[in-house]
C-alpha cells in the first residue's frame, strides 16, 4: 500500500503499538480481521498525512525539486525556497488569528501531522469531537479567509 519499505516499517511499528495497547479490549474472534483493519487504517492515515505535509526543505529530494522548479521558472533556487518559507509563515500567522478551539486542532492536524487519535489523547476530547472541530474550523476559514489574502 505504501510503496516504500521505509514508510512500511514506520507504519508497522505504529500498528504493532496500537495492537499492543488495544489487546486488553480485544475479543479473540475475528482477530486477523481486526489486526488487518488496524494496519490498513494506519496506512491510509500515513498516506493522508504525507500528502498534507509540506515538503521539508532540508532533504535532498526537496532541494532538487526546488532547483528544478526554479530553473523552469527562471529564478534562483534560493529565491524560490525563500518564497515558500514566506508563504508558510503567512499561513501560520493567519492560523494564529483563529479562535483558540479551532487553532489548537488545526495546528495539531495540519502543521504537526497528528492523527485524530493523537489529538484526542492530548486534548482530552473524543475522536468525534476532534473531527467536528476540524470541520467547523475549515468552515470558519472559508468564511473568514479570502484567496486574495494569500497572494
pLDDT digits (tens, 9 = 90+) for 40-69: 888 888 888 877 765 444 444 555 555 555
**Within-domain flag for 72:** no
For all residues of the chain together, what is the average pLDDT?
Answer: 77
* Unique residue bearing C-alpha cell 486542532: 105
What is the span of the domain harbouring residue 103?
A: 98-146
Q: Is 0.75 surpassed by the pTM of this model?
A: no
- In this structure, what CATH number is given to the domain that contains residue 137? 1.10.10
**Within-domain flag for 10:** no
**Within-domain flag for 30:** no
Q: Most confidently modeled of 10-14, 54-58, 69-73, 86-90?
A: 10-14
**Within-domain flag for 15:** no
**Within-domain flag for 19:** no
- Name the domain count of the chain: 1
Distance CA 48, CA 52 (A): 6
SS3 70: helix
Residue 122 cell numbers, joined: 492530548
pLDDT, residue 128, reads 92
Average pLDDT over residues 115-144: 89
Distance CA 102, CA 123 (A): 12
Amino acid at each position: 500500500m505504501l510503496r516504500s519499505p521505509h514508510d512500511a516499517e514506520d507504519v508497522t511499528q505504529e500498528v504493532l503499538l496500537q495492537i499492543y495497547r488495544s489487546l486488553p479490549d480485544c475479543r479473540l474472534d475475528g482477530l486477523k480481521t481486526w489486526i488487518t483493519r488496524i494496519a490498513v487504517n494506519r496506512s491510509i492515515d500515513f498516506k493522508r498525512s504525507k500528502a498534507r505535509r509540506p515538503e521539508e526543505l532540508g532533504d535532498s529530494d526537496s532541494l532538487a525539486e526546488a532547483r528544478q522548479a526554479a530553473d523552469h521558472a527562471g529564478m534562483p533556487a534560493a529565491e524560490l525556497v525563500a518564497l515558500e518559507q514566506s508563504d508558510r509563515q503567512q499561513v501560520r500567522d493567519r492560523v494564529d488569528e483563529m479562535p483558540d478551539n479551532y487553532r489548537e486542532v488545526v495546528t495539531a492536524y495540519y502543521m504537526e501531522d497528528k492523527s485524530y487519535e493523537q489529538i484526542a489523547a492530548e486534548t482530552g476530547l473524543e475522536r468525534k469531537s476532534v473531527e467536528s472541530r476540524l470541520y467547523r474550523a475549515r468552515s470558519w476559514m472559508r468564511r473568514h479567509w479570502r484567496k486574495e489574502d494569500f497572494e
